[in-house]
Amino acid sequence: MTVFNLYIFDKFGTLLYYTEWNRTKKSGMTKEEEAKLTYGMLYSIKSFVAKISPHDPREGFLYYKTNRYALHYLETPSGLKFVLNTDTAALNVKELLQLMYAKVWVEYVVRDPLWTPGTPVTSELFQTKLDEFIKQSSIFGLRSI
């Protein structure tokens, strides 16, 4: 099992943070273009899911899967969006994202007085802690692609 990459967006679609681990194929565009494309897709999926759902959608869009990867999506009520790409076998990614929000994002970004809300995160401490957090998680195994 493995983790590929992570995007963090705010509610205005600003890319606050991007990082990758075992990503072997590049998209061939700049990070900014790719983030814009990703955000646009997520936005469309979100409204699509909300409109097409035959029930009242409680949590809305959670994840999608292709034959090679799964994209997991967590949106907080404050509009922060965490997007994690993993292989298709990864379990409990939603819980992992929730934990990452509480233990890494709030702890090292929101409580960092040098960070201005709505701007990309550059804190090295956050980068280190995030990397540790993901590498310790059960879904970050050896690559089995």
Q: Give the gyration radius of the chain's Cα atoms.
A: 15
The secondary structure of 13-41 as a DSSP string is: --EEEEEESS-----SS-HHHHHHHHHHH
In the complex, the smallest distance separating the C-beta of residue 93 from other proteins, rounded to whole angstroms, is: 16
Which among 16-24, 61-69, 105-113, 136-144 is the span making contact with other proteins, rule CB under 8 A? 105-113
Q: Which is nearer to other proteins, 2 or 6 (CB)?
A: 6
Nearest CA to 74 out of 86, 88, 60 is that of 60
**C-alpha to C-alpha distance for 60 and 58, rounded to whole angstroms:** 6
Residue 48 within binding range of other proteins, rule CB under 8 A:
no
Residue 13 within binding range of other proteins, rule CB under 8 A:
yes
If you ran DSSP here, which 8-state letter would residue 12 be given?
T
Single residue of 29, 62, 89, 106 touching other proteins by CB under 8 A: 106
In the complex, the smallest distance separating the C-beta of residue 77 from other proteins, rounded to whole angstroms, is: 4
Q: Which is nearer to other proteins, 52 or 114 (CB)?
A: 114
**Chain-centre distance for alpha carbon 79:** 13
- Which positions lie near other proteins, rule CB under 8 A? 11-13, 36, 39-40, 43, 58-59, 76-80, 98, 101-102, 105-108, 110-113, 117, 125
